[in-house]
Amino acid sequence: MTNDTGGDVRLSGISKHYGSFTAVHPLDLTVPQGSFFALLGASGCGKTTTLRMIAGLEEPSGGTVHLGEQDVTVLPPYKRPVNTVFQSYALFPHLDIFENIAFGLRRRGIKSVKKQVDDMLDLVQLGEHARKKPHQLSGGQQQRVAVARALINHPRVLLLDEPLGALDLKLRRQMQLELKRIQTEVGITFVHVTHDQEEAMTMADTVAVMNAGRVEQLGSPSDLYENPRTTFVANFLGTSNFIAAEVDSTSGDDVVLKAGGGKLTLPAARCSAPATTGGKVLAGVRPEKISLTHADDAGGIPAGRNRISGRIAGSSFIGVSTQYVVDSPVCPEFEVYAQNVDRDERLVPGADVVLHWNPAHTFGLDAAQDIDAGIQEEAAS
Ligand SMILES: Nc1ncnc2c1ncn2[C@@H]1O[C@H](COP(=O)(O)OP(=O)(O)OP(=O)(O)O)[C@@H](O)[C@H]1O
Ligand SMILES: [Mg+2]
């Protein structure tokens, strides 16, 4: 951290209106220096607008942008210590790779560029392609040229807007690791925009989940996944099962819930809804935390686990795991992922089962939210 605010990029109350439409609601965001930061959200939620306000390509309707100590809110883009990599990386087709990367230095009148360009070529592992033209490279290689071309200017912050969007899935995965390696090596702050939750989780130290022009939640990938505070985040990042429940009592560090005639327990620390007796809570649990036991063997389930009964409605074998959909009185389509270690041949559609899990793996959310928030958005993207 190089300054007392600890932020390399600091947005304070930044907002953007287009006529009567608000693309970004007043937003506060601090990106720590040297971190890989992702803005994640569905199409149209305001990611690019936010990024463009950092770059100076879009004038905010209100609020301020700081880069380090400096208030850059009124600075034009070229005076800001940032560079942007776009999805359409727009390399210069007539220049070779070396000259594409050297471009920023040459424009500033720097004569001896060889050492710096060679270092960049090494960084993105394209040394042997230096004299090729962009059209002679693969999509992933071209993308790396675009990153090198931006990094050679030593920006304080590198902004990346869906930089891998044009690549096919396999190449995307490779480039995610590659970009992460490059960021770790250069130690420059990266702000990466994506609608792909897996991409954000793979690469970023911190993810800000955006929804309709607001940051819904911010945290490390594991924190967001394990402790979503809204149904939107719980559904947008992976899959969540929700059981509508009512607070029965609190005992020690636990909250006891009533649901469909049975009881469920969750840690009070994981319940973001008020735990007052009679209050409504959505009890959430991730599909991979749940075990499935055939009803005939229910007696063998250890005491102290949360349990509900149901009937298997469908199952799909996907190699590493089997994904079950279970009908239960408390949740119509319970999703359960079972690793393929010892498969129980009786677990087929129509079988009566008990779903059970460690109460510590339950999270509680305010029931006054749309249980399906975030689901359509992900499917549509
Ligand atoms: N120049 C503009 N004039 C009017 N509305 C705009 C303008 N630019 C963006 N918007 C609107 O602002 C909202 C946010 O747009 P933005 O480009 O930031 O979304 P995004 O999160 O980057 O989406 P995507 O994932 O599709 O790129 C959208 O509803 C968009 O239609
Ligand atoms: Mg965008």
The answer to whether the CB of 309 falls within 8 A of the CB of 354 is yes
- What is the residue with the minimal CA distance to atom 17 of ligand 1? 48
334 CA distance to ligand 1 middle (Å): 35
For residue 2, the model assigns a pLDDT of 41
Q: Residue 361 Cα, ligand 2 centroid: separation in angstroms? A: 34
Ligand at shortest distance from the CA of 21: 1
Query: Ligand 1 centroid to 371 CA: how many Å?
Result: 26
CB–CB of 54/65 below 8 Å?
yes
Residue nearest (by alpha carbon) to ligand 1 atom 7: 18
Domain locations along the chain: 7-231, 232-380
Domain 7-231 superfamily per CATH: P-loop containing nucleotide triphosphate hydrolases (3.40.50.300)
Note the pLDDT of residue 3: 40
Name the residue with the closest Cα to ligand 1, atom 14. Answer: 46
What is the 22 CA–ligand 1 centroid distance (Å)? 10
| Closest to 191 measured CA to CA, from 90, 101, 83 | 83
Q: How far is the CA of 50 from the centre of ligand 2 (A)?
A: 9
Ligand 1 atom at minimum distance from 47 CA = 21
Please report, for residues 117, 333, 336, the alpha-carbon distance to residue 325 in angstroms, rounded to integers and kept in the order given. Answer: 54, 6, 6
Q: Which ligand is nearest to the CA of 160?
A: 2
| Residue 191 · residue 160 · CB < 8 Å | yes
Question: Residues with beta carbon inside 6 Å of ligand 1?
Answer: 18, 23, 41, 43-49, 195
DSSP letters, 132-151, are: S-GGGS-HHHHHHHHHHHHH
In a 3-state reduction of DSSP, which class is residue 381? coil
> Alpha helices of the chain — where are they, by DSSP H?
47-55, 97-107, 114-123, 139-151, 169-186, 197-203, 221-226, 231-236, 375-380
HSE value, Cβ hemisphere, 13 Å, CA-based, for 206: 17
- In this structure, are strands 157-161 and 82-85 parallel, antiparallel, or unpaired? parallel
Amino acid residing at 257: L
Position 165 scores a pLDDT of 84
Helices and strands (DSSP H and E) totals, the chain: 9, 20
Kindly give the confidence (pLDDT) of every residue in the chain, 381 residues in length, as a single tens digit, with 9 standing for 90 and above.
344 445 699 999 999 999 999 999 999 999 999 999 999 999 999 999 999 999 999 999 999 999 999 999 999 999 999 999 987 778 999 999 999 999 999 999 998 999 999 999 998 889 999 999 999 998 889 989 999 999 998 899 999 999 888 888 888 898 899 899 999 999 999 999 999 999 999 999 999 999 999 999 999 999 999 999 999 999 999 999 999 999 999 988 999 999 988 999 999 999 988 888 999 999 999 999 999 999 999 999 999 999 999 999 999 999 999 999 999 999 889 999 999 998 899 999 999 999 999 999 999 999 999 999 988 644 544
- The backbone torsions φ and ψ at residue 204, rounded to the nearest 5 degrees and listed phi first, read -85, 150
Q: What is the pLDDT of residue 380?
A: 47
Which of 21, 49, 162 best tests ligand 1's pocket when mutated (most atoms within 8 Å of CB)?
Answer: 49
DSSP 45-110: SSHHHHHHHHHTSS--SEEEEEETTEE-TTS-GGGSSEEEE-SS----TTS-HHHHHHHHHHHTT-
Best residue for ligand 1 mutational test, from 20, 24, 48, 210 (most atoms within 8 Å of Cβ): 48
Residue with the smallest CA separation from ligand 1 atom 28 is 44
Taking the alpha carbons of 297, 308, 359, 286 in that order, is the dihedral positive or negative? positive
How far away, in angstroms, is 58 Cα from ligand 1 center?
11
CA-proximal residue: ligand 1, atom 12 (nearest): 23
Q: Which residues of 325-364 are buried (b: 16+ CB within 10 A; e: fewer)?
A: bbebebbeebbbbbeeeeeeeebeeebebbbbbebebbbb
From CA 123, how far away is CA 102, in angstroms rounded?
14
CATH of span 232-380: 2.40.50.100
pLDDT at position 376 is: 63
Q: Which atom of ligand 1 is nearest to the CA of 18?
A: 4
- Among protein residues, the one whose CA lies closest to atom 6 of ligand 1: 18
If you take atom 24 of ligand 1, which residue's CA is the nearest one?
Answer: 43
Q: For Cα atoms 216, 168, 238, give the angle at the middle one, nearest 5 degrees.
A: 30
pLDDT of residue 275: 83
Of 21, 191, 196, best ligand 1 pocket probe by most atoms within 8 Å of the beta carbon: 21
